[in-house]
Amino acid sequence: MTETAKDRAIIGSDESREYLTFTLGDEEYGIDILNVQEIRGYDAVTKIANSPDFIKGVINMRGVIVPIIDMRLKFHLGVAEYNQFTVVIILNISGRVVGMVVDGVSDVIALRAEQIRPAPEFGAILDTAYIDGLATLDDRMVIVVDIEKLMSSGEMGLVDQVQSGSA
Amino acid sequence: MTIDMSQFYQVFFEEAAEHLAEMESLLLELDVEAADKEMLNAIFRAAHSIKGGAGTFGFTDMAQMTHVLESLLDRLRRQELQLTTAMVDAFLDAGDILKAQLAAHQEGGVFENPRIAEVCNRLERLSMLEAEPGAPVSPPPSDVPRQVESAAAPGGDAPDCRVWRIRIHREQAGLKPDTSLEGLVSALAELGPLEPFTEEEDGDCLGWQLTAPVAHADIMDLLDFVCDAAGVRVESMPASAATDEDPGYGFFEPMGETPGDGVPDTDTDPGYGLFEDAPGAVQALDQEHPGYGLFGGSPGMGQVAEQVAREQDETDQGFGFFDGAPGVVPADSSGPSAANAGPPAGGGGTPTPEGGRQPPARRTPAGDTSIRVSVEKVDQLINLVGELVITHAMLAESISALDPVGHQSVFNGLANLERNSRDLQQSVMSIRMMPISFVFNRFPRVVRDTAASLHKKVNLKLVGEDTELDKGLIERLADPLNHLVRNSIDHGIESPDQRRTAGKSETGEIMLRASHQGGNIVVEVSDDGAGLNRDKLLAKAAEKGIALPDNPSSKEVWQLIFAPGFSTAEKVTDISGRGVGMDVVRRNIEQMNGRVEIDSEPGKGTRIIIRLPLTLAILDGMSVRMADEIFILPLTAIRESVQPRRTQVKTVSGKGRVFQVGGDYLPLVELGRLFSSGGRRFPVEEGIVVIVDTNEGRAALLVDELMAQHQVVIKSLETNYRKVEGVSGATIMGDGRVALILDVDELMRLNRRLGSSMATFEVREQAHD
């Protein structure tokens, strides 16, 4: 009895989740904070041959080789300039560590489920399949991204898909 | 009890697995004609240890299995029986079942399989039936065991519906008067219609008549769980005479119905003359175990009694229930563990609580100086040491700017640090090193079984089993080797007839050889079979549409068998049709930074050579620069490096470029172009060409600059990223940056795909032939 009551509470409105928001150009994105491992500055990367341009390369993070993705390039938001404010969000996606270059990290916000509105179709730039929805925070609009789904998707090429690439 | 014990389960699992492996290897070494007593003893000890452990931890199924195994082994090592191939087979099967049971217990389940009972029966039959000829005394004509056996013989082979008369003498069978036999009765009833059958009223004697299509041994098996074989009579009767009094049966009547004889009065009963000649038997019984029944059907009394006495000393009575030959169960309740009538069928024979709670009487192997450490801990250690080496390199780089004169002590300290960390690295690496015998040891069995199922005669020769290599490699080597060996037996070695016609000895030979060659481990699988058939391979290649040069070299033809889908398509058998194909073998080996070569001569045999690096974790490499990036080229691949002249570079059909060195034209692989690292195009003379060995032959790799030689710690790119073509991994350089480790074989493939390929390739062929 108590179990079902609890379940209902989660489905209901009280439960909110925390999101880390970051900016890419003029847009603001939010990702589940539980996927964030750490935030660090941008270091020199080692390029990886024949990889998509949004994969900047790999870095050495305390002995672990971590691939770095430029989200601006990925979302086709123009060429990023790297300066001292450029940050890398290190994500932990089901055990795999991936770095994500963004323009800046802005905030940690708590959103309740009903605050996130379904997103309309955007076209081909970013498949809505990876977007949980849009949330409004004051005047800002935050695009809530299902980062786990996005990073493990085939189009990111981060994970070996079946017969990806090689003949 | 479960809670207390469970923490030791892992120890038991590991120990039991070791004992099983040891048992198997000993069994395979065993010479059937002249069995070495020491080896039999060792096998027995292994089985006994498993039994002890299994009993203690309550894995009754394993305990039972080993118990049966052990009783036959015990007779063998006492040389009462002659070892036969059938026995070795039965032992091996029993070992397999124990392994399966062990695996099931590890996962918290129970291994259920009809094979268990089948193998148990086989072992028991072997120990009982074959006891006859080997029995130490010539049995008197009225010998009871023989009588039972002979009665069983016809029924044992053709288990059609028969009528069995089962009589149990409570006292002789070692049953307490109040022991319930309901379990037994219901188990018997499962076999077929069972009706109580009593002759003259006798409280001590129980009788049933069973009509069932079972063999004598089956019934004995059931009864064995409950009571002593000595007090049991099982006779077959003609179906028609089921209800009549069997004339022959009268012989046994005095036995079954004279309770006074129940207590072993061996001197007066002619039926047990057998035991008189077994010295010590009577005393042993009289002095120590007055309650023991008679051990009918189980000759070798002396040994049994002796063993019971010995084991009771040794094992502190912990596993009394399982000890000794079947049916050795103390009759009186004062015994170490009372013979309860456990559920007689399949999983019966639960150890009594008293027995189970006794502290395990494990014999600690003498001189055991090793400790068990989980592989993760070792890997963690290796990682840390790797980091230490990197940190050292970083330090060294940053102080290199300092003036050596003023900072003498810093430089000295750093030199010491370097030496120590190298030593540390080496010692830590050696923890992971294991002799290759860990893989090789499974092959006697593989060869034996595979050859037997193909009706071929194959000898296996192992060379260099002590060669040490990384544990990670050993594990990953097992599957490819297994496939190669099976392949050799299936396709390589001819049938005995063919071999005789070819003028070879009927027994083929497969050799597994491991050795160190430079920084490599070389593992060879060679057979003296028919060799590869060039024409067949070429025809197959044509059929599959695999492009080949006009006049391919043997090496190229042999490499065909590694093509995906090529290997066994035409000749799938249950031996090499399953499992991995040759392409997977090659991929597995290449994943280990190794390479595979084939050498074959028609009629003489085939040799497959696997070259592997010593370890997966560290690589000797040369750092090369390409534009701004540093790459590591494995030293094992490097032949030489040359300063190129413009005239050495030739263009073939406009785009492919080859590099002339000596009289050879090698395909020129331009790293800059492959990795499109951008940058300016510069004349060839400004770069340097490294001649590398690939599995397609030599190639020339053009880089900007050779930097230095390093020992680098290999890190996987795939942990967080994916496989990158042309790159086998990554490492961290002294300055903390990541450098990619090049894979020359993949570079060749990449080079070919990127366009210039065909032309270069042809030129190379001409150059080679």
Q: Please report residues of A whose CB lies closer than 8 A to that of B737.
A: 44, 46, 60
Q: What is the pLDDT of residue B172?
A: 62
Distance from CA of B338 to the nearest CA of A (A): 50
Q: Distance of alpha carbon A140 from its chain centroid, rounded?
A: 18
* A56 close to A101: Cβ distance less than 8 angstroms: yes
CA terminus-to-terminus distance, chain B: 75
In a 3-state reduction of DSSP, which class is residue B702?
strand
Could you identify the residue written with the tokens 């030791």?
B8
Number of other residues whose CB lies within 10 A of the CB of residue A41:
10
Average pLDDT score over residue span A50-59: 85
Could you identify the residue written with the tokens 């039991």?
B16
**Inter-chain touch A50–B725, beta carbons under 8 Å:** yes
**Inter-chain touch A49–B730, beta carbons under 8 Å:** no
Q: Please report residues of A whose CB lies closer than 8 A to that of B720.
A: 64-67, 96-98
Q: What is the CATH number of domain B435-613?
A: 3.30.565.10
**Inter-chain touch A63–B675, beta carbons under 8 Å:** no
Q: What is the pLDDT of residue A13?
A: 46
Q: What is the pLDDT of residue A99?
A: 92
Q: Distance of alpha carbon B727 from its chain centroid, rounded?
A: 34
**Inter-chain touch B726–A49, beta carbons under 8 Å:** yes
Task: Give residue A133's identity as a one-letter amino acid code.
Answer: G
Residue B695 is classified by DSSP as B
Q: Can you name the CATH fold of B148-248? A: Alpha-Beta Plaits (3.30.70)
pTM of the model: 0.47
CATH number at residue A119: 2.40.50.180
Mutate to test the interface with B, among A62, A65, A68, A98 (most CBs of B within 10 A): A65
Question: Which DSSP string corresponds to B447-463?
Answer: HHHHHHHHT--EEEEEE
Could you tell me if residue A166 is inside a domain?
Answer: no
Average pLDDT score over residue span A69-93: 83
Could you tell me if residue A59 is inside a domain?
Answer: yes
Q: Can you name the CATH fold of B618-768? A: SH3 type barrels. (2.30.30)
* B192 close to B203: Cβ distance less than 8 angstroms: no
Q: What is the CATH number of domain B5-127?
A: 1.20.120.160
* B443 close to B512: Cβ distance less than 8 angstroms: yes
For residue B642, list its beta bridge partners: B689
Could you tell me if residue A162 is inside a domain?
Answer: no
Q: What is the pLDDT of residue B575?
A: 47
Tokens of B730: 């990554």
Q: Distance of alpha carbon B285 from its chain centroid, rounded?
A: 42
pLDDT exceeds 90 at position A26: no
**b/e per residue B13-44 (b: at least 16 CB within 10 A):** bebbbebbbbbbbbbbebeeeebeeeebebbb
Could you tell me if residue A24 is inside a domain?
Answer: yes
ipTM of the complex: 0.77
Q: What is the pLDDT of residue A36?
A: 93
B535 CB burial (10 A radius; 0-12, 13-18, 19+):
exposed
Q: What is the pLDDT of residue B252?
A: 45
Q: Which domain holds residue A58?
A: 9-151
What CA–CA distance (Å, rounded) separates B655 from B501? 54
**Inter-chain touch A47–B718, beta carbons under 8 Å:** no
Task: Label residue B662 left, alpha or beta by phi (over 0 means left) and psi (-120 to 50 means alpha).
Answer: left
- The alpha carbons of chain B give a radius of gyration, in whole angstroms, of 35
Q: Please report residues of A whose CB lies closer than 8 A to that of B739.
A: 46
Between residues B304 and A107, the one the model is more confident about: A107
Portion of chain A with pLDDT greater than 90, in percent: 16
Q: What is the pLDDT of residue A38?
A: 92
- CATH architecture of the domain B376-430 equals Orthogonal Bundle (1.10)
Q: What is the pLDDT of residue B95?
A: 84
**Inter-chain touch B721–A63, beta carbons under 8 Å:** no
pLDDT band at A89 (very low <50, low <70, confident <90, very high): very high
* A127 close to A119: Cβ distance less than 8 angstroms: no
**Inter-chain touch A160–B722, beta carbons under 8 Å:** yes
Number of domains in chain A: 1
What CA–CA distance (Å, rounded) separates B371 from B369? 7
pLDDT exceeds 50 at position A18: yes
A63: nearest CA in chain B? B387
Please state the domain extents for chain B.
5-127, 148-248, 376-430, 435-613, 618-768
Nearest to B720 among A44, A46, A96 (CB): A96
Q: What is the pLDDT of residue B152?
A: 40
A57: nearest CA in chain B? B738
Q: What is the pLDDT of residue B187?
A: 63
Tell me how many residue pairs between chain A and chain B have CB atoms under 8 A apart: 78
Interface of chain B against chain A, CB under 8 Å?
383, 386-387, 390, 629, 674-677, 715-727, 730, 732, 736-740, 753
A66: nearest CA in chain B? B720
Interface of chain A against chain B, CB under 8 Å?
44-51, 57-60, 63-67, 96-98, 157-160, 164-167
B564: nearest CA in chain A? A167
What CA–CA distance (Å, rounded) separates B97 from B117? 10
Q: What is the pLDDT of residue B605?
A: 86
Low-confidence ranges of chain B (pLDDT < 70): 1-7, 129-164, 167-206, 208, 210-368, 518-519, 549, 564-580, 615-617, 654-655, 676-682, 755-769
> CA–CA distance from A76 to each of A53, A72, B51, B227 (Å)?
11, 6, 68, 83
Task: Give residue B565's identity as a one-letter amino acid code.
Answer: G
In a 3-state reduction of DSSP, which class is residue B496?
helix
Q: What is the pLDDT of residue B127?
A: 75
* B278 close to B300: Cβ distance less than 8 angstroms: yes
